[in-house]
């Protein structure tokens, strides 16, 4: 027992250090986690014997539950709404088309049987949330046109579709759930959606009514995450879909101690990712990967340069996305943990598969994360898709600033601003406001009362958070509903005095704090405070 605990502790510490090292090397941390697993495995340096696919499936499935739940929990729906249509299209139709096209390649280029080809396409049809999140966040990679948000929502929501296709493929192979494929698909969707939402709503009610002590609320939410997966799965539903939807609903609800829950799930999801990728590496045999490398490389190349671009350009054409955005989205279609977990599930099911599915999929994912993941920042820059003005690539994800005691606001000081040329103590700041940072060019300054504010300075102010007691009623108004407003300044719109436009969201994803002279453009969405509701 002590030896096992010692090994686990050393592995976790080694993975954390590898994560820090990955930032210097410019490679995804998850790739190093898999590398450590391979180093410790039967073919590696430490020769830890592990080849039990049934146990691996159970452990990896539990880890994937928390990754899926927290992927939904962190999605800020009001920010995700503008790109939700594109993301859902890619995570549903995109997954199906990817599976079918990959199956055709496996059938006619590699000679797999029809059902084996479909199983391979189904297993590898989803992009990997953990890999995409890790790369975008570690590189602080803000992308134009809300592309980072689209990628995060797509990659976080497409695993349920891939799981459903894998279950259908296994059913056709005579293992797992058998019976009508139509009913199987319907049950996966109905039970997954219904029970996932039901668990979420009950969880919100409990968290609000009982006001559990710090720590107990986190434990309760862990139980809710497990129930949102297990209840649909027991009845033949899609447990991953249930967990993801439950995470979205709970994460976007007003519940106590949300900040504490975020920190808790940050930690538990990080541990789940370390465990998942290390275990996948541990389960692999590099000597067997050499044998399947030609097939895996062929699938990886076909996916990267044919299937993913074709699917992305075809499905995003109705949304009129710029070609360079489609190219970045195509390159960011990384394959990863979920695909390998579904391959483990297929092997553990006992299906008669005439080739080494696990190592083929593992090798494809390894190549995808290593090549596409490492080159993603370079590709984005070469296509001029990096937005240096983006505050964070996590804009779509909940930062839960509404739960903090302080609110940070930034604004630029121009030559006409009344504070230009004055010392901070000479500015008439509200009693509860404080200038916490001043950016001058590329230099960040911590100001004091004698700091002189110059034109061009960017100020960051902190103020207490407003506790909403019903006085603010925010809603969105698409400009398409009021076409007569297009091309006119706000002051000429004739808006009632009880309605105030507080934000203008442009079609390209940028936001504008409006003034009377701000001109409304086609595709704008207005965020207003309407006292009449």
Q: Identify whether residues 421 and 318 lie together within a single domain.
A: no
Q: Is 399 domain-assigned?
A: no
DSSP string covering 165-189: HHHHHHHHTT-SS-S-HHHHHHHHH
pTM of the model: 0.75
Q: Identify whether residues 357 and 324 lie together within a single domain.
A: yes
Q: Identify whether residues 188 and 147 lie together within a single domain.
A: yes
Q: Identify whether residues 371 and 507 lie together within a single domain.
A: no
| pLDDT for residue 399 | 44
Q: Identify whether residues 423 and 522 lie together within a single domain.
A: no
Helix%, strand%, coil% for the chain, nearest 5 = 60, 10, 30
Q: Identify whether residues 416 and 518 lie together within a single domain.
A: no
Which contacts of 182-186 are long-range, i.e. CB under 8 A and separated by 24 or more positions? 184/236
Q: Identify whether residues 217 and 248 lie together within a single domain.
A: yes
| pLDDT for residue 139 | 66
Q: Kindly report the CATH number assigned to the domain that includes residue 47.
A: 1.20.1530.20
Tens digits of pLDDT across the chain (533 residues)? 777 788 888 888 888 888 777 766 666 777 888 889 999 988 888 888 888 899 999 999 999 999 999 989 988 777 788 888 999 999 999 999 999 999 999 999 999 999 999 999 999 999 987 677 667 666 666 788 888 888 888 988 899 999 999 999 999 988 866 668 889 999 999 999 999 999 999 999 999 888 787 789 999 999 999 999 999 999 999 999 999 999 999 998 888 888 788 888 888 988 898 889 899 999 999 888 989 999 999 999 999 999 999 999 999 999 999 999 999 999 999 998 899 999 999 999 988 898 999 999 999 999 998 899 888 888 998 999 987 654 444 445 454 344 445 567 777 888 888 888 888 888 877 766 788 888 888 788 888 888 899 988 888 887 765 555 445 566 778 887 777 888 888 888 888 877 888 888 887 666 777 888 888 988 888 888 766 55
Out of 464, 487, 509, a domain closes at 464
| pLDDT for residue 240 | 95
Q: Identify whether residues 370 and 517 lie together within a single domain.
A: no
User: Does residue 393 contact residue 142 with C-beta atoms inside 8 Å?
Assistant: yes
| pLDDT for residue 473 | 60
Write out the residue range of the structural domain in which residue 22 sits: 2-382
Q: Identify whether residues 434 and 478 lie together within a single domain.
A: no
Q: Is 392 domain-assigned?
A: no
**Structure token pair of residue 93:** 């139709």
Element (H, E) at 330: helix 323-331
Q: Identify whether residues 331 and 422 lie together within a single domain.
A: no
Number of structural domains (the chain) is 3
User: Does residue 197 contact residue 247 with C-beta atoms inside 8 Å?
Assistant: no
How many other C-beta atoms lie within 10 A of the C-beta of residue 198? Answer: 17
Q: Identify whether residues 76 and 58 lie together within a single domain.
A: yes
Q: Identify whether residues 447 and 321 lie together within a single domain.
A: no
Q: Is 395 domain-assigned?
A: no
Residues facing residue 435 across a β-bridge? 461
Out of 382, 414, 439, a domain closes at 382
Alpha helices by DSSP H, 26-113: 29-40, 53-73, 77-108
| pLDDT for residue 149 | 81
Classify residue 431 by burial, with Cβ atoms within 10 Å: 0-12, 13-18, 19+: exposed
DSSP state, residue 480: G
| pLDDT for residue 469 | 47
Q: Is 332 domain-assigned?
A: yes
Do the bridges between strand 499-505 and strand 511-512 make them parallel or antiparallel, or are there none, so unpaired? Answer: antiparallel
Classify residue 256 by burial, with Cβ atoms within 10 Å: 0-12, 13-18, 19+: middle
Q: Kindly report the CATH number assigned to the domain that includes residue 437.
A: 3.30.70.1450
Out of 442, 464, 486, a domain closes at 464
Q: Is 469 domain-assigned?
A: no
Q: Is 439 domain-assigned?
A: yes
Q: Is 393 domain-assigned?
A: no
Q: Is 226 domain-assigned?
A: yes
User: Does residue 487 contact residue 519 with C-beta atoms inside 8 Å?
Assistant: yes
């Amino acid at each position: 027992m002590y030896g096992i605990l010692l090994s686990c502790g050393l592995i976790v510490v080694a993975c954390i250090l590898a994560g820090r090292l990955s930032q210097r090397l410019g490679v995804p941390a998850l790739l190093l986690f898999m590398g450590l697993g391979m180093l410790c495995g039967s073919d590696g340096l430490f020769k830890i014997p592990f080849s039990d696919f049934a146990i691996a499936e159970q452990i990896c499935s539990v880890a994937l539950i928390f990754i899926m739940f927290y992927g939904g929990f962190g999605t800020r729906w009001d920010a995700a709404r503008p790109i939700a249509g594109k993301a859902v299209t890619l995570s549903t139709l995109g997954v199906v088309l990817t599976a079918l096209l990959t199956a055709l390649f496996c059938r006619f280029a590699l000679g797999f049987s029809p059902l084996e080809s479909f199983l391979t396409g189904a297993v590898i049809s989803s992009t990997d949330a953990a890999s995409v999140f890790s790369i975008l966040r570690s590189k602080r990679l803000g992308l134009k046109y809300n592309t980072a948000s689209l990628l995060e929502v797509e990659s976080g929501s497409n695993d349920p579709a891939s799981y459903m296709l894998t279950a259908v493929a296994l059913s056709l192979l005579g293992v797992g759930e058998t019976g009508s494929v139509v009913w199987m698909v319907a049950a996966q969707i109905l039970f997954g959606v219904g029970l996932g939402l039901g668990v979420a709503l009950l969880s919100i009610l409990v968290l609000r009514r009982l006001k559990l002590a710090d720590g107990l609320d986190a434990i309760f939410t862990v139980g809710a995450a497990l129930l949102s997966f297990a209840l649909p799965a027991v009845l033949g539903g899609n447990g991953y879909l249930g967990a993801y939807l439950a995470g979205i609903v709970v994460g976007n609800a007003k519940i106590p101690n949300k900040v504490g829950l975020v920190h808790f799930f940050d930690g538990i999801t990080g541990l789940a990712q370390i465990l998942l990728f290390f275990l996948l590496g541990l389960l692999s045999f590099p000597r067997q990967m050499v044998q399947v490398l030609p097939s895996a490389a062929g699938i990886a190349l076909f996916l990267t340069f044919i299937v993913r671009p074709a699917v992305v350009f075809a499905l995003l054409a109705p949304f009129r996305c710029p070609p360079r955005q489609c190219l970045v989205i195509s390159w960011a279609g990384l394959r990863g943990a979920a695909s390998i977990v579904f391959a483990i599930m297929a092997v553990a099911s006992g299906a008669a598969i005439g080739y080494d599915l696990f190592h083929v999929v593992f090798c494809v994912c390894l190549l995808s994360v290593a090549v596409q993941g490492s080159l993603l920042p370079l590709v984005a820059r070469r296509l001029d898709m990096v937005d240096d003005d983006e505050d964070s690539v996590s804009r779509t994800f909940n930062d839960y600033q509404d739960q903090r005691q302080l609110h940070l606001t930034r604004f630029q000081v121009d030559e006409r601003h009344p504070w230009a040329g004055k010392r901070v103590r000479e500015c008439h700041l509200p009693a509860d406001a404080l200038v916490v940072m001043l950016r001058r060019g590329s230099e960040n300054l911590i100001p004091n009362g004698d700091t002189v504010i110059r034109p061009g300075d960017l100020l960051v102010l902190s103020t207490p958070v407003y506790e909403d007691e019903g006085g603010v009623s925010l809603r969105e108004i698409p400009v398409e509903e009021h076409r007569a407003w297009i091309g006119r300044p706000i002051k000429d719109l004739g808006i009632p005095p009880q309605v105030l436009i507080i934000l203008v969201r442009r079609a390209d994803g940028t936001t504008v704090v409006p003034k009377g002279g701000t001109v409304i453009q086609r595709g704008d969405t207005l965020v207003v405070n309407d006292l009449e509701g």
